[in-house]
A = this chain, B = another copy of it.
Amino acid sequence: MPEAASPRRWEARARALGDRQTRVAEGACFVEGIRAVCEAMDGGVPFEAVLICRERLRSAVAIAAVDRLAASGVPCAEVPLSRFARLSEMDNPVGLAAVLRWAPLPLAALPPPEASSLYVIAEDLGDPGNLGTLLRTADGAGAAGVIVAGAGTDPAHRRCLRASLGTAFRLPVAHVADPADALAWAKAAGIRTLATSAHGRQTLWSLAIPPGVPLAAVLGSEERGLRPETASACDDSLRIPMLGAATSLNVAVAAGVILYELRRRGAVNL
């Protein structure tokens, strides 16, 4: 069973990692939930500690994960329910959380593209939950990586990691402050960039795509769309047909619609 560890020390660390600057400075983050913790473990992310609440930890999968982590020497902090509930953002805490050594990659650490690689460049996203759902979607569509660009939310935000169901730990995720750097990286890597906006020149369906070229879907903030200089620096632009009263889709939904259409074209060789 897990080695003893000072719970209060790890609770304090979890709280400190609520601050973005601390996360960036230390390359660490806090995450809660069975799926997210298990994906981090399966993805080989280094653990500083696992935090558990015995009164709540019922899932056999979760208990097995804790045992495996403990066996590999990860400190296990047992936190009483009253304090675990304060640490948790879940209505019904499942009793499993972790402090991880994980941060988004620098651009240079992203894997180079192959012929059919798909990427997402997400600019100025404000909501960590939306970003997490976007990461989960990109993973589902087999994306080679996601670049989070601009002044928006931090991929290491606990709500992003949780909404991603831990796919953040499996998929290459980079962060870059200036979206122009993301586009320059794509250009240098031979990745064709597709700006997505309500004013895109082609619909997703009519957009011609040269075969065998790696692609990046470039998506902007839900409120303001892409920055004009980002949109105009992309190789092409597309719009998703809006057929009802809504003028836009949720950004993760938009990413799903685009990535799966690009994937389909690769698969059926249109």
- Which residues of A are at the interface with B, using a C-beta cutoff of 8 A? 39, 42-43, 133, 136-143, 165-167, 170-171, 204-205, 240-246, 248-250, 252-257, 260-261, 263-264, 267-268
* Residue from B139, B170, B260 within 8 A of A257 (CB atoms): B260
State whether B264 touches A141 (Cβ < 8 A): no
Q: Which residues of B contact A39 (CB under 8 A)?
A: 245
State whether B249 touches A170 (Cβ < 8 A): no
> How many copies of this chain does the complex contain?
2
State whether A170 touches B140 (Cβ < 8 A): no
Given contacts A137-B253, A250-B252, A257-B256, contact A142 B243 (CB under 8 A): yes
A204–B263 Cα distance when bound, in Å, is 12
Q: Which residues of B contact A140 (CB under 8 A)?
A: 240, 242-244, 246, 248-249, 253
Q: Which residues of B contact A256 (CB under 8 A)?
A: 249, 253-254, 256-257
* 18 cross-chain CB contacts under 8 A: A39-B245, A136-B246, A136-B249, A136-B253, A137-B250, A139-B244, A139-B245, A140-B240, A140-B248, A141-B244, A167-B246, A204-B260, A249-B256, A252-B253, A253-B253, A253-B255, A253-B256, A256-B257
A141–B242 Cα distance when bound, in Å, is 6
* Residue from B139, B245, B246 within 8 A of A246 (CB atoms): B139
Q: Which residues of B contact A248 (CB under 8 A)?
A: 140
A253–B137 Cα distance when bound, in Å, is 7
Q: Which residues of B contact A43 (CB under 8 A)?
A: 245
Q: Which residues of B contact A242 (CB under 8 A)?
A: 140
A261–B262 Cα distance when bound, in Å, is 11
